[in-house]
Amino acid sequence: MRFMVLVKATKDSEAGAPPTRELVDAMMAYNEELVKAGIMKGGDGLQPSAKGARVQFDGEKRSVVDGPFTETKELVAGYWLWECKSLDEAIAWVKRCPNPMPGPSEIEIRPVVDIADFGEMVSPEAAATWDRLKSEVGNG
Amino acid sequence: MRVMVLVKADKDSEAGVMPSEALLTQMGAYNEELVKAGVMLAGEGLHPSSKGLRMRFSGGQRVITDGPFAETKELLAGFWIWQVRSFEEAVEWLKRAPFDGGTEIELRPIFEMEDFGEALTPELREQEERVRAEAAKLGG
């Protein structure tokens, strides 16, 4: 099963505060363990929402709203993509994660949808296209 | 630069309502354009938050809260990772996406190694590159 592991933003991450040397070292060692165990398939950190934007869709209309966005604790600051045998295995790995922020923080674990989960909504042609696109982008 | 495109949840995605075949077809065509243009590096959909959980980090403490989570419009339902020349190019690509009905999509620049400046020592940079290469081999 694949999981998306979402690191929530905090005041510090939104302020663009750089991580301490200790945290970078600890996180790098943790990433190395994840890779050795075959868990980590991808992961990145996001710049503060001040550098981002939102696009709203309504009919043909597209409205762009520039960041920053205020509801800090609901913003994402980074993510991993993991391959685990079960949700329990993902939980056990998250428990070992160094606290990614200087203060209290929160990480959300969400199972990723596989094309098979869409059932008969997906025609065989659409499923084949998806598989081909995934292999072209080297993602599964 | 790389940009993360965050697709927010709505009542339907949180209720586990699968997209219609028409929308899946439009989205498939859009993904195909993204891949052909060399823009799409990855993309996934997430199961509703009722299948996920959150873990709170505070000192040595790890506290788990099971989903679902109430603040639907701040939850994530899916994402892409795009490779673009500029943030504006990402905005232009996003405007062409087949969303509607007030959907809001967030664009966030991804931290690249250069963004960390001198805090990223040559040793850490080498470790980061090794971890990324190995994770990519695992299909990331």
pLDDT digits (tens, 9 = 90+) for B33-90: 999 999 999 999 999 999 999 999 998 899 999 999 998 888 999 999 999 999 999 9
User: In whole numbers, what is the pLDDT of chain B averaged over residues?
Assistant: 91
pLDDT digits (tens, 9 = 90+) for A94-128: 999 999 999 999 999 999 998 777 777 777 877 88
pLDDT band, very low/low/confident/very high, at B122 (cuts 50, 70, 90): confident
ipTM exceeding cut-off 0.85 for this assembly: yes
- Residues of chain A numbered 96-115 and touching chain B (CB < 8 Å): 97, 99-101, 104-113
- Substitution target in B108, B112, B124, B129 with the highest count of A β-carbons within 10 Å is B108
Show the tokens assigned to B55.
């873990």
Is residue A140 pLDDT above 50, yes or no? no
A-to-B residue pairs, Cβ atoms closer than 8 angstroms: 212
Q: Which residues lie across from B5 on neighbouring strands?
A: B80, B107
What is the identity of the amino acid at B113?
Answer: M
Mean pLDDT of the region B86-112:
95
Contacts of B22 in chain A (CB under 8 A): none
Mean pLDDT of the region A28-40:
96
What was the pLDDT predicted at B5? Answer: 98
What is the identity of the amino acid at A58?
Answer: D
Of A58, A121, A139, the CB nearest to B21: A121
Min distance B42 CA to chain A CA atoms (Å): 6
- Substitution target in B27, B56, B57, B58 with the highest count of A β-carbons within 10 Å is B57
| B139 interfacial to chain A (CB closer than 8 Å) | yes
Sheet arrangement for strand A2-8 = A40-45, A76-83, A2-8, A105-111, B53-58, B61-66
Whether the model clears a pTM of 0.80, i.e. scores above it, the answer is yes
What was the pLDDT predicted at A59? Answer: 92
